[in-house]
Structure 1
Amino acid sequence: MEFKHIKQIVDLVKRSGLTEFELEEKDFKLRLCRKSDEVQAIFQGGTPVPFNSTAMPFPATPAGGAEQASAAPEAAKEVDESKLIKSPMVGTFYSSPSPESPPFVAVGDSVSDDTVVCIVEAMKVMNEIKAEAKGSIAEILVENGDNIEYGQALFRLK
């Protein structure tokens, strides 16, 4: 595995908030563990690539963490979970198929089970996300290009 691919994986782990990641290929094994503000990389098999895990420190808390944490319980009480379209994976949210294209959906658009509402990029793979529910888009909860978590609400339906 090339160093640039390892760096991409480390960056994805950094953005996603994962605490542990493991990848195995034929004669190569990569395991990333995050403890406190540091990533520990363990390589097995093949020729290990020099890697300075302290060169990429992780923030202890996300920016605005205190404000977001206090607002989250209030928002969770008001939102009907059955009316949310959630992300099935960690990745980067894209509202349209390309920068020049219009968004898949906008507020007020009707959606059905098989309507594509966005793309989530994970490890350079573009995954179309379907609504898997019927209704109309009441609110778009993330911005184009945002890093998103597994289970994070992306859209709220009416």
Structure 2
Amino acid sequence: MLKVQEIRELIKLVDQSNIDEFVYEHDGSKIKMKKKTAEAVVVQPAKTVIEEVQAPKAAVQAPVKQEPVVEPAVTESVKETENLHKIVSPMVGTFYQSSSPDAESYVKTGSKVSKDSIVCIVEAMKLFNEIEAEINGEIVEILVSDGQLVEYGQPLFLVKPE
């Protein structure tokens, strides 16, 4: 069976190529990738009906003094998140922090991880896919909750690289 990183590489290669569909079979496993094809969509303008509405007579009000809008200063936390690595979901599925409901979470905020550390599981089509950190560092934030549906490319964790 292919590892998640190998599947990601295949996705990138298929995405960058002129191939519309790709099928890989090995030892009873099958991976099928298909690009979305452009579909012609015919849009007809809707008829617009404009009704004349009379504005109600406004009551005389004292002018409202508007306070100037003050832009908040860029905080240190925003600067820090720019230096963090995002571990993203390689597929659409359900996020799980542990291998079973009564098991300990793979990682918590503050946990040290290495490139091959398993950080979570994403279940897709009844298959449980272990997601690896792919970087050495410390988990700063867990961005999704246990049992939450995640999308392809959605950030799952923020990691402070070592």
TM-score (norm 1): 0.50
Larger radius of gyration: 2
**Structure with greater proportional helix content:** 1
**Structure with greater proportional strand content:** 1
